[in-house]
Structure 1
Amino acid sequence: MTYCVALRLETGLVFLSDSRTNAGVDHVATSRKMSVFENPGERLMVFMTAGNLSISQSIKEIIGERVNAAGKTIWTVDSMYEAAQIVGEVIRSVYEREAQALEKFGIDFNVSIIFGGQIKGERCRLFQIYSAGNFIESHNENTYFQIGESKYGKPILDRVITPASSLDEAAKCALISMDSTLRSNVSVGLPLDMLLYEKDTLAVTRFVTIGEKNQYFQMIRENWGKQLKSVFDGIADPVWNANPETTSNVLSAQGSRSEPLVVTPPQGIGNDSQPAPLQTLAQGGNGRQH
């Protein structure tokens, strides 16, 4: 019951998360999914979670104090890669402690994490970390990560976002992605947390919690559907059973041999009625060609 998205751009990073944890008929609950680890001027790291809330909270509480084999924590490691390794180690330690007990109650060890930011001296980096503690990193071929209810908000990201997108363009796209998810899935809900990080600032400079009355998000919710309907109405309807050389937008060419896969009734089942002739969309009710 979550949707989180993060985007890695040439100019920085964008993070967006919802806050719904339960959407039952008589019980709707919220909990913030985004946490920020910040040492201004030295490092900034953002942590977003989906999955079992108790597992996510346990991981978050341990991360800041976890010491790796080299004696370092996320506050002292030299790279975001090493910080992501520490997060993975924490996930595995929580699994070892909790998974067997959870299994007895039929509960899966389910957690997904987006972890990103910048440590002074290196570039912005973004990771998606899985329940096993392994992770992948964002590159130009996959410039964003999603966790939770991701399918509804994915198409707009695929069509719009590139590494060259500006932070504000990416913020707008992420909010449209979130709005699409909110409209299609009741398990995702307001308020939202959004953080825009401009590379090399090494501090939180743009953060907002978005509720129902947020002016910009209200505008997106009202206008995005209208704009989509306008674009939809501007696309011509398909033409059936026509010659592509004499008309455009032909979906089924005249004389084509396309046929459906027909299942015939078993023997002994009769049908005295005569089937109506198949009418194509290129024909009106009087059989005339358009």
Structure 2
Amino acid sequence: MTYCVGMLVEEGLAMIADTRTNAGVDNISSYRKLHIIDKPGDRVMAVATAGNLSVTQTALAMVREGVHLNVGEEPETLETAASLFRCAQLLGHALRSVRLSIAPAMQADSLNTSASMLLGGQIAGGQMALYMIYSQGNFIECGRDTPYMQIGELKYGKPILESGLAYESTLAEAVKLGLISFSTTMRSNVGVGAPFDLLTLRRDFLSGEQRRIEQDDSYFADLHLRWTQAQAAARRSMPEPPWIKRPRLSAIG
């Protein structure tokens, strides 16, 4: 299992992905799942992947080689596509093609071939955008009302983003909430773990900032501790149910 999140706010875009790959409790390893294309002044984008690792890696390799979306057209890659929408089409086509080609053999061995991707970024002359791409090759675009998308083990981190993130949030606030969502997810699922890869991109700057957050990262460790303490303090401050009475201690002797 894995966890990836993309957050698109007015100021820009932040994408975070963990690196843990879990094929059983005795087979846990790390693979990069946030793949970044950074050509300053032309395009900056990131692809986060979740699901069957062989499917996502093969699909990404296909796109790097070049994808023919239509007969007679030149092959396109994420480095040459004219728009981010076109990049989403390329990734969707590759993901669907890989699944269709290997699904029969893998399903015969009861292996799950499902996979999904997040694509976010901006190309010169176009708008910043964030897409979620499904196994079937179709995709949806992130909007202002819900300015985030998640793939993988998303249920533990979703309440943090749902209650705290708005399109008007600053990019720094988005990163903070995203990392808190990773903190809560790590606590609940051993299949998600550090290090995390992070990309932040300010709108129309066309130059991204990358960072790897290790388990002992001082900011992440402090954030995790403060969030844990804040939750405990909030819980203690809440009134107890008035219909539940404390038992009276009877006198002895």
TM-score (norm 2): 0.92
Q: Would you say how many aligned residue pairs link Structure 1 and Structure 2?
A: 246
Name the CA shift for 1:100/1:25 in 2 (closer, same or farther; >3 Å).
closer
What is the deviation of 1:149?
A: 0.6
Q: Deviations over 1:130-184 (max 9, x none)?
A: 0100010001122100111100011110111001111100000000000000001
Name the CA shift for 1:17/1:96 in 2 (closer, same or farther; >3 Å).
same
Give 5+ residue unaligned stretches, structure 1. 241-280
1:220 aligns with 2:231: no
Q: Which residue of 2 aligns with 1:285?
A: 248
- In structure 1, which of residues 103, 106, 112 is the aligned counterpart of residue 116 of structure 2? 112
Equivalences for residues 250-265 of structure 1 within 5 A? none
Q: Which residue of 2 aligns with 1:58?
A: 58
Kindly provide the amino acid, as one letter, of the partner of residue 17 in structure 1: A
Name the CA shift for 1:76/1:216 in 2 (closer, same or farther; >3 Å).
same
Residue identity (%): 38
Tell me if structure 1 keeps the 8 A contact 2:146–2:166: no
TM-score (norm 1): 0.81
Q: Which residue of 1 aligns with 2:47?
A: 47
Name the CA shift for 1:23/1:220 in 2 (closer, same or farther; >3 Å).
farther
More contact order relative to length (CA 8 Å, sep ≥ 6): 2
Q: Which residue of 2 aligns with 1:95?
A: 99
Tell me if structure 2 keeps the 8 A contact 1:23–1:186: no
Larger Rg: 1
Q: Which residue of 1 aligns with 2:131?
A: 127
Give every structure 1 segment of 4 or more consecutive aligned residues whose post-TM-superposition deviation is greater than 4 Å: none
- In structure 1, which of residues 126, 145, 148 is the aligned counterpart of residue 149 of structure 2? 145
Q: Quick one: distance in 1 between partners of 2:40 and 2:249?
A: 75
Tell me if structure 2 keeps the 8 A contact 1:152–1:177: yes
Q: Which residue of 1 aligns with 2:90?
A: 86
Name the CA shift for 1:27/1:89 in 2 (closer, same or farther; >3 Å).
closer
Tell me if structure 1 keeps the 8 A contact 2:19–2:193: yes
Give 5+ residue unaligned stretches, structure 2. none
What is the deviation of 1:39?
A: 2.2
1:179 aligns with 2:183: yes
| 2:186 match: secondary structure | helix
The two structures, once aligned, show a CA RMSD in angstroms of 1.6
What is the deviation of 1:28?
A: 2.2
Q: Quick one: distance in 2 between partners of 1:25 and 1:108?
A: 17
